[in-house]
Chain A
Amino acid sequence: AQSVTQPDIHITVSEGASLELRCNYSYGATPYLFWYVQSPGQGLQLLLKYFSGDTLVQGIKGFEAEFKRSQSSFNLRKPSVHWSDAAEYFCAGAFKAAGNKLTFGGGTRVLVKP
């Protein structure tokens, strides 16, 4: 079965430091991959998505993600974190075998230290 895994439940980072959130998927082909951010008690906002082509994808709010087929990964990065980046981040995949339904990872909560 298709799956998306986020190995880190919590990450704490100092303001101004770099951030990397891990995401792995399990699927026999390349899925459509997404990163969403959720502020407490709010809906999800799309940060970026990957379908094909350039494996380094630029998103909003200074985020980028790199697709690595060999590692079945789609890690999210930001060079310098701001306090407003404290939120929960979800990786998701849309697998052709499952239509357009998104399968979400468990999420990673990011805490930003001053």
Chain B
Amino acid sequence: DGGITQSPKYLFRKEGQNVTLSCEQNLNHDAMYWYRQDPGQGLRLIYYSQIVNDFQKGDIAEGYSVSREKKESFPLTVTSAQKNPTAFYLCASTATGIGNTIYFGEGSWLTVV
């Protein structure tokens, strides 16, 4: 079935460590996104990519990095520079064009211990 796969579902990180969250889609979508969701809050855009080998910062990019080497993959690295990384992270993708439906993965929980 087509969809977006995020892994791992749960991840614990020690302070000072970098961690990478995986996002893979087989929907043949050009655009991919990473959102952060804090408990009881809405979604905030971290990074997005509209084409391979290109990506742009969203509203809260500090402390995060991404790459887009393949169309189907858009991994997010949470670096040690991110001061408050504990959150729920959602990956999404859509076909190119304004107003197309954005599809979401099941999310990854990151907890700093």
Contact = CB atoms under 8 A, between A and B. Distances in A.
Interface stretch (B39-47, B64-72, B73-81): B39-47
Nearest to A45: B104
Contacts, number: 63
Interface string A36-60: 1000011111100101000000000
Given A51-B99, A96-B98, A106 B104 contact: no
A107 B58 contact: no
Interface residues of A, number: 24
Contacts of B107: 41-43
Interface string A74-108: 00000000000000001000101001111011110
- Of B42, B44, B88, B105, most A-chain CB atoms within 10 Å: B42
Given A42-B106, A43-B105, A43-B107, A100 B98 contact: yes
B98 to A, nearest CB: 5
A105 B98 contact: no
Nearest to A31: B99
Interface residues of B, number: 30
A43 B94 CA distance: 15
A34 interface: yes
Contacts of A96: 98
Contacts of B42: 90, 104-107
Given A41-B107, A102-B102, 16 more contacts: A32-B98, A34-B101, A41-B109, A43-B4, A43-B90, A43-B105, A44-B43, A44-B90, A96-B98, A100-B31, A100-B50, A100-B94, A100-B98, A100-B100, A106-B41, A107-B40
21 contacts: A41-B109, A42-B107, A43-B107, A44-B43, A44-B104, A49-B99, A90-B42, A100-B94, A100-B96, A100-B98, A100-B100, A101-B33, A101-B45, A101-B48, A101-B58, A104-B43, A104-B44, A106-B42, A107-B41, A107-B42, A109-B40
